[in-house]
Amino acid sequence: MALQTAGIHHITAFVRNAQVTVDFYSGILGLRLVKKTINFDAPEVYHLYFGDQIGSPGTIITFFPWRDSRQGRIGAGQVGTTTYVVPEGTLDFWQERLDRFDIPFAETERFGESYLQLEDPDGLRIELVARAEGANSAWSFGGVPAEKAIKGFGGAILLSAAPERTAALLEQVMGLAKVGEEGGYARYRSTADIGNLIDVNVEPVAHGSGGAGTVHHIAWRAKDDEEHARWRALVEGSGYHPTPIVDRQYFNAVYFREEGGILFEIATDPPGFARDEAPDALGEHLMLPDWYEPHRAVIEANLSPIQVRVLEGDAQ
């Protein structure tokens, strides 16, 4: 049977400051910090994961905070916008919340839906859309009760340097179905009910460059290791150059660059973030893979402490 990805597994981006990132994604957006670890390829840098109550696939945004990073430029070859889905009828709540924290936003429409578009502190483009589909988050934090909380990703806007090639990849390899074209975007749907609506530019756009405020890669879901191996073979057989399978502790990963310049990853749903911490204690301690554990003292000394905290605007 042909493979079809359920949708987005996670999105990974570059930022500058770990605490500023925690205050925005947990303090304001109400996401749970589900894992505090390090960049396995650069252990002097945190790798922070935010998601729903357990960091379900389709809800996870991850960050590498590089203090001295240059500012990136959003453009072709990247995910241009990360879309979050909130429960129906809650966009007013979110507008008031953004106002309270002095976060500018624009109201836009696409494919008949209303979006609140904003930027995170480093300039990463985020948008909120309200939909019935997708389970509510069970996580409440600060001023965001679970019934109004972000459910996970609604999808993403991909900015491709070769839109027809990216479209062909999504349809013919990743197993998404084209569901419309409007306002300069083609829309594709995957099988899950979150992380499932992917918009791709139809016309060329200016090239981006990596750095703070840009997405590094987008990961797609594989349901288990057996399917993951089939995905790798399919990607390779379709003319791409996937990496070997890499152990990322909370999932296994393969990466490949698609022809529109965007770095794709395919990641397994299991084992997830409760692999090394109890579900009620996720994100509380710095977790290291076994091969870094002997170096914990040095690694911890190099990282500035961070804290998930209720912000002043919610404390009154």
Residues that bind Zn ion (CB under 5 A): 12, 219, 265
Closest separation in Å from C-beta 70 to Zn ion: 21
Closest separation in Å from C-beta 12 to Zn ion: 5
Considering beta carbons, is residue 23 or 265 the nearer one to Zn ion? 265
Closest separation in Å from C-beta 216 to Zn ion: 8
Closest separation in Å from C-beta 160 to Zn ion: 19
| Alpha carbons 74 and 157: distance in angstroms, whole number | 11
Considering beta carbons, is residue 170 or 215 the nearer one to Zn ion? 215
- Helix (H) or strand (E) holding 180, with range, is strand 177-182
Considering beta carbons, is residue 78 or 90 the nearer one to Zn ion? 78
Asked whether the bond before 43 is cis by omega within 30 degrees of 0, the reply is: no
Considering beta carbons, is residue 79 or 192 the nearer one to Zn ion? 79
10 forms beta bridges with 60, 219
Closest separation in Å from C-beta 109 to Zn ion: 31
Q: Is residue 53 within 8 Å of 137, Cβ to Cβ? A: yes
| Alpha carbons 6 and 210: distance in angstroms, whole number | 27
| Alpha carbons 59 and 160: distance in angstroms, whole number | 23
Dihedral angle computed from the Cα positions of residues 131, 113, 167 and 205, in that order, rounded to the nearest 10 degrees: -130
Considering beta carbons, is residue 10 or 187 the nearer one to Zn ion? 10
Considering beta carbons, is residue 41 or 203 the nearer one to Zn ion? 41
Write the DSSP assignment of 228-283 as a string of letters. HHHHHHHHHHTT--PPPPEE-SSSEEEEEE-TTSPEEEEEES-S-GGGSS-GGGTT
Closest separation in Å from C-beta 105 to Zn ion: 27
Closest separation in Å from C-beta 217 to Zn ion: 5
Considering beta carbons, is residue 12 or 214 the nearer one to Zn ion? 12
| Alpha carbons 81 and 219: distance in angstroms, whole number | 14
Exposure string of 229-241, with b = 16+ CB inside 10 Å and e = fewer, is eebbebbeeeebe
Longest dimension (CA), the chain: 58
Considering beta carbons, is residue 86 or 235 the nearer one to Zn ion? 235
Closest separation in Å from C-beta 75 to Zn ion: 21
The letter for the amino acid at 69 is: S
Question: C-alpha angle with apex 147: 144 to 150, nearest 5 degrees?
Answer: 65
